[in-house]
Amino acid sequence: MTIGTMRAMRLESPGHALVLRNVPIPTPGRGEVLIRVSACAVCRTDLHVVDGDLEHTKSPLIPGHEIIGRVEALGPGAGAFEIGRRVGVPWLGYSCGVCKYCRDGHENLCERALFTGYTRDGGFAEYVCADERYVFPVPDAYDDVAAAPLMCAGLIGYRALRMTGQSRRLGLYGFGAAAHIIAQVAIHEGRDVYAFTRKGDGKSQRFARSLGAAWTGSSEETPPDKLDAAIIFAPVGALVPAALRAVDKAGLVICAGIHMSDIPAFPYEILWEERVVRSVANLTRQDGEEFLSVAPRAGVKTATHPYPLAQANDALDDLRNGRFDGAAVLLTDR
């Protein structure tokens, strides 16, 4: 069993910067694996955790839930992965399997669920323990850095995309880590992607066009065609009525974030004609298995921006201020 200490970027008080600490390497419990982390992408949910937008956070906490690494040790009863196997760890870290949601195939809504980098320690560290049932093999098509954003930006985006059914004209509000991945899947499926960004964000609009978007514009603009569905990745409640106005009759508006600012009042007429607003909560293991099979076939490429582990606060600040396209990824070997 690995013993000793590891470097970790730890949240000691919500609303404050992460602190670099030397902490004990965790010991895997029953059914768990110890993973030597090589890369961990930085998600907007990490930002919400650090900023204190989400309640009931483990304290102190090591954030991070888009983890790529290699199995270092096995806990009692673990045997799904051999030592040295490359694996990925997502947001959903445990579900009970017996509550009504788990029994009905909605483990993402489990009443006793645990979440990586939120209610259990995550991957902003050199090692992490994970329940082996909630760990995925990583497709060979991706190196560690490229694979990291697939573990949440890709998975949550994929779940949101599946909720749009067969919608042909798809709007994506907020063209960041999740949208740039799911746009590629949608285009591979023959859909037309309409990318909405912050006003004046020509860089993100050019990025979206480079990936094949049929139209790009500001979130304040009206697209040239009525949309069949829209996915909102930006945590901005005001985008809900904007998206409702953009979708056609029976159109779908999917809110894909774990946190969003308040949705302002809007007239019933923009919801009428059987338009639908719904949210995405977490993910299931089936989502992960399906998406990690689809992504290589769709030729998904991730845009990544590496940072040393110790510069996690810089990565979070750059994400907060929209200083890059794609996803930030923390590396433990720098």
Phi, psi of 216 (to 5 degrees): -135, 150
136 and 175 assigned to the same domain: no
pLDDT (0 to 100) of residue 333: 82
pLDDT (0 to 100) of residue 179: 95
Instruction: Return the amino acid letter for 181.
Output: I
Cα-only R_g, the chain? 19
253 and 327 assigned to the same domain: no
47 and 140 assigned to the same domain: yes
- Please report, for the domain that includes residue 133, its CATH number: 3.90.180.10
- Give the SS3 label for residue 70: strand
The separation between CA 25 and the C-alpha centre of its own chain, rounded to angstroms, equals 25
| Number of compact structural domains in the chain | 2
130 and 172 assigned to the same domain: no
Express each pLDDT in 21-51 by its tens digit: 999 999 999 999 999 999 999 999 999 999 9
Token duo for residue 67 = 């983890």
- Please report, for the domain that includes residue 264, its CATH number: 3.40.50.720
d(CA 178, CA 113): 23
177 and 79 assigned to the same domain: no
Beta bridge partners of 171: 194, 230
Dihedral sign for Cα 333, 49, 238, 246, please. positive
Express each pLDDT in 172-189 by its tens digit: 999 999 999 999 999 999
Cα atoms in the 13 Å half-sphere on the side-chain side of 199: 4
pLDDT (0 to 100) of residue 334: 54
Residue-number span of the structural domain to which 256 is assigned: 155-279
DSSP 63: -
DSSP string, 175-233: -SHHHHHHHHHHHHTTPEEEEEESTT-HHHHHHHHHTT-SEEEETTSPPSS-EEEEEE-
d(CA 192, CA 195): 10
Do 180 and 211 contact (CB within 8 A), yes or no? yes
The separation between CA 330 and the C-alpha centre of its own chain, rounded to angstroms, equals 15
Beta bridge partners of 86: 70
138 and 30 assigned to the same domain: yes
Closest-CA residue to 323 (of 176, 190, 188, 182): 176
Per-residue pLDDT of the chain (334 residues; tens, 9 = 90+): 457 999 999 999 999 999 999 999 999 999 999 999 999 999 999 999 999 999 889 999 999 999 999 999 999 999 999 999 999 999 999 999 999 999 999 999 999 999 999 999 999 999 999 999 999 999 999 999 999 999 999 999 999 999 999 999 999 999 999 999 999 999 999 999 999 999 888 999 999 999 999 999 999 999 999 999 999 999 999 999 999 999 999 999 999 989 999 999 999 999 999 999 999 999 999 999 999 999 999 999 999 999 999 999 999 999 999 899 899 999 998 5
Token duo for residue 113 = 């669920």
Q: How close are the terminal C-alpha atoms of the chain, in Å?
A: 25
d(CA 133, CA 31): 8
